[in-house]
Chain A
Amino acid sequence: MENILEMKNINKQFYGVQALKNVNFSVRPGEVHVLVGENGAGKSTLMKILSGAYQMDSGEIYFAGEKLDIKTPLDAQERGISIIYQEFNLIPGLSVAENIYLGREPLKKSGLIDWDLLYKNTRELLDRLQADIDPRTLVSQLSVAEQQFVEISKALSFDSKLIVMDEPSATLTPKELERLFAVIRDLKSQGIAIIYISHHLDELFEIGDRLTVLRDGEWITTDNIEDVDKNYIIKMMVGRELTNSYPPREVTPGEVVLEVKNLTREGVLDNISFSLRQGEILAIAGLVGSGRTELVRALYGADPKDSGEVIFKGKPIQIDSPKDSINHGIGLLPEDRKQQGLVLGQSVRNNITLASLDKLIDRMLIRDNKEKEAVHKYIKDLGIKTPSEDILAMNLSGGNQQKVVLAKWLFTDSEILIFDEPTRGIDVGAKYEIYVLMNELTKQGKSIIMISSELPEVIGISDRVLVLHKGRITGEYHRGDLSQEKIMKSAAGEVN
């Protein structure tokens, strides 16, 4: 079959670091081509070159038989190549419809924007995804998953022949993922090619036709999905065998350290009570919008609460702000690394130490060597791929940015760590290392609350699971009594 896209001998350096080395990559019309590789392998960079966001150092790109010279993202979009970036590019202060048709708003004869048509077109796009979102809603009011759908709608609006999805599933629940897959199959049947990047290997078998693996900026292999299995893919990605997905849990949770009583926030959280034991990993599951993130944010003091009590080590404590939480030894790794976790324009080092500078201070001044030592330790322990600790966070790959946020919260030495989607965007090998780390933390007597949309992960590493539905707890399961079906039932609102 004729290829719709051919990228040949692509090279790209960033200040002396070779991010892509002679990469060859081709895509056929109507296929779903999966692109995998470890964090920092060069997947996003390759796609940014295709989209015109970055310029390659050398190489050639052919699209639909013609040699392409892409200078700007608009060039690419007009040629029929659309990219949904790993980090969204929506404008929070504009509505869904305005975002999708930004700069291309339908006009009336008078030259004014035809709002009715704008909303109608948007409605149709969203309907194709069966997304229940009002085109008039401001993007700032959408959940991460909903923003994802807006991004996809935007790509659809360009009538593209090739759509790149850079980790679209990282933020979706299983049900939403099914919808996405349905959309992808629909696009496929129309002859549209999809490049699909994901760290969730199970998905690849469900949706992919072919697969390409990158490692350290080099092309490793391209195969038909039918011919490969998960172990093979992991081996190609990591360069060695990985035997386990989850390390064994060896910690027996001790005394109750944290008790939340009747936490309520009008319209969001309804009378939530639960407790957390020392050394426990408590997972909170539920669909997007079930109140998981809202629960931990209210607990942490990031959002206001209407009523409720928090008892920490037997004593009631007052938490009105994140500062209060941190002072008590409670840390929250937020859901959205770009908006809430990082200062993108600051160095890796400054990001890691931002929340715990007190630890590095001696006679009022931050001690350079202490700081470097601490930062190097996390770069090493978490395998953060960065040429130096002085690199700006925005120049790291998505997964490595996530590791920086993780490092930041580990460095606070909190006794209770709340992780909201800690492994989002992290590759298989690194995920395993993060689970090991969570085990290690609980061995040291720390307790973890983890929100995760990945049920295998929830089942694989937690001691106990709370399931939320519409701001209420609808299920509680202990390790050994856990299954995906049970969690899904509770998440759908069936009380057990």
Chain B
Amino acid sequence: MDAKANVAELRNSGGFLYRINNSYYKPEIYAGIGLVLLSIILSFASPYFLESRNLINLARQISLYAIIASGMTFVILTGGIDLSVGSIVAVTGTFIAGFIKSGMPILVAVILGFGIGLLFGLFNGFIIANTRIPAIIVTLASMSMGRGTALLYSNGYPISGLPNSFKVLGRGYLGPFPIAVYIMVVIFILTYIVLNKTKFGRHVYALGGNEETVRLSGINVRALKMKVYVISGLMSAISGLILASRLGSGQPLSGDGWELDVIAAVVVGGTDIAGGRGTIIGTIIGAFIIGVLNNGLNLLNVSPYLQLVVKGLVIIGAVFVRAGVNKAK
């Protein structure tokens, strides 16, 4: 019938335009343009901005919450949210530090501390998958419990005096770059592959688009939800480990407020907060935008209070531009 011939014909005539206009790449294109513009402005405003020392420093600063943002991308793509990430950073850090102090071999301490951080991800996932309690409530609760656990365990004081060998991960360099940056890059490559090339990734996107369709397609929705919160917990734990190593101590107040920068990175990178759409590349760009902003405003000696205001404006602006673009379609 006519339609058959049309498929080929239409693909030739409209394929390319469709690809640009109709894809999820679009939001990240805008975020990318934003990042480039921001960098150009900052390179004029501050001569230090483009210095390699500053750029490497920037990458190091970004790495910690960018790692978490990659996990948060999974969560937000399913239409969820995870507010407990900052607390998991603290829990993981303090427990690892405490375990090392108590004389455990470093590897064992790291594994156990990790396990405790992961428990919070499991807790989030279990409750969200099996009850109707919204993710924002569940993770708000575990955010509080996590922070409380870290404070209880450490009595509210940083646990320091850790051996130098533990500090390598956070402070060490491999060639020109800090080790943490390599970890970030590896995690981004992995999450890119998982999101784009695996069954799990497809299911994550679909879940955020239409849960009922996913269920009727024979996919275990509960297991799927569980997994994304575990991934988010895992990424937070990794970040917590690197932070403790960098600080050389487990600090119960570390990671405070990080959930905001992390969520901002994901959203500025073009992921739809309602789920179903977004990309990991967008999240990388988003993380860099937030990082460049922090870094640049510091270089320009902007007061930290004003920085918060500027960051807020950027978040609104980014989402606004995207909404406007979508509507114009």
Is B47's beta carbon under 8 Å from chain A? no
Q: Are B218 and A343 in contact (CB under 8 A)?
A: no
Q: Decide if A344 touches B7 in the complex (CB within 8 Å).
A: no
Does A343 lie within 8 Å of B209, measured CB to CB?
yes
With an 8 Å Cβ cutoff, the count of chain A residues facing the other chain is 55
Q: Is A343's CB under 8 angstroms from B6's CB?
A: no
Given contacts A239-B2, A361-B199, contact A346 B14 (CB under 8 A): no
* Known interface pairs A38-B2, A342-B213, A395-B22; A16-B7 also in contact (CB < 8 Å): no
Q: Which of B4, B7, B22, B202 contacts A354 (CB 8 A)?
A: B202
B218 near A327 with CB under 8 A, answer yes
Whether, in the assembled complex, A384 has its beta carbon less than 8 Å from a beta carbon of chain B, the answer is: yes
A363-B166 Cα distance, complex, nearest whole Å: 36
Q: Quick check: A383 and B4 within 8 Å, CB to CB?
A: yes
| Interchain CB contact under 8 A, B219 and A388 | no
CA distance A40 to B276 in the complex (A): 26
Asked if A366 and B202 sit within 8 Å, CB to CB, the answer is yes
Give CA–CA (A104, B197) in the complex, Å.
Answer: 48
Interface residues of chain A: helix, strand, loop or mixed (majority): mixed
* Residues in B whose Cβ lies below 8 Å from that of A239: 2
Provide the bound-state CA to CA distance between A385 and B10, in Å: 9
B133 part of interface (Cβ distance < 8 Å) = no
Partner of B220, one of A323, A325, A343, A385: A323
Q: Is A357 an interface residue (CB 8 A)?
A: yes
> Is A341 in the interface zone, CB < 8 Å from B?
yes
The one of B18, B198, B213 that contacts A365, using a Cβ cutoff of 8 Å: B198
Do residues A355 and B13 form an inter-chain contact, with CB atoms below 8 A? no
Once A16-B13, A38-B2, A216-B2 are accepted as A-B contacts, the answer to whether A343 and B18 lie under 8 Å apart by CB is no
With A15-B14, A343-B209 known as contacts, the answer to whether A383 contacts B199 (CB < 8 A) is: no
Alpha-carbon distance between A40 and B199 when the two chains are bound, in angstroms? 31
Within 8 Å of chain A (Cβ to Cβ): is B216?
yes
Contact A343 B206 (CB under 8 A): yes
Q: Is A430 positioned at the interface, with any CB of B under 8 Å from its CB? A: yes
B1-50 residues with Cβ-Cβ distance < 8 A to A are: 1-4, 6-7, 10-11, 13-15, 17-19, 21-23
Chain B contact residues: helix, strand, loop or mixed: helix
Report the Cα distance A344→B217, complex, angstroms: 14
Which of B7, B15, B206, B215 contacts A384 (CB under 8 A)? B7
Q: Does B288 contact A (CB under 8 A)?
A: no
Judge if A391 is at the interface, Cβ distance under 8 Å: yes
Q: Check B14 against A357 for contact (C-beta < 8 Å).
A: no
Q: CB within 8 A of B209: which of A344, A383, A408?
A: A344
Instruction: Count chain B residues whose beta carbon lies closer than 8 angstroms to a beta carbon of A.
Output: 38
Verify if B298 is at the interface (C-beta below 8 Å from A).
no
A387 adjacent to B216 (CB under 8 Å): no
Residues of A378-434 at the interface with B, using a CB-CB cut-off of 8 Å, are 379-380, 383-388, 390-392, 395, 408, 429-430, 433
Which of A14, A17, A239 counts the most B-chain CB atoms under 10 A from its CB?
Answer: A17
- Interface 1/0s, chain B 196-230, versus A by CB < 8 A? 01110011011001101111111110000000000
Are B219 and A17 within 8 A (Cβ)?
Answer: no
Q: Smallest CB–CB gap between A80 and chain B, Å?
A: 26
Q: What are the residues of chain A within 8 A of B147 when measuring CB–CB?
A: none
Binding site for A on B (CB under 8 A): 1-4, 6-7, 10-11, 13-15, 17-19, 21-23, 193, 197-199, 202-203, 205-206, 209-210, 212-220, 276-277
Q: A343-B214, A354-B206 are known contacts; what are 9 more A-B pairs with Cβ within 8 Å?
A: A38-B3, A238-B1, A322-B216, A323-B220, A350-B206, A365-B198, A388-B15, A395-B22, A408-B217
**27 A–B contact pairs at CB < 8 A?**
A15-B17, A16-B14, A16-B18, A38-B3, A216-B2, A216-B6, A239-B2, A300-B216, A322-B215, A322-B217, A344-B210, A345-B209, A354-B206, A354-B214, A355-B218, A357-B199, A361-B198, A365-B193, A365-B198, A366-B199, A385-B10, A386-B10, A387-B13, A388-B18, A390-B19, A429-B1, A433-B1
Q: Which residues of A are in contact with B by a Cβ distance under 8 Å?
A: 14-17, 38-40, 215-216, 238-239, 300, 302, 321-323, 325-327, 332, 334, 339-346, 350, 353-355, 357-358, 361, 364-366, 379-380, 383-388, 390-392, 395, 408, 429-430, 433
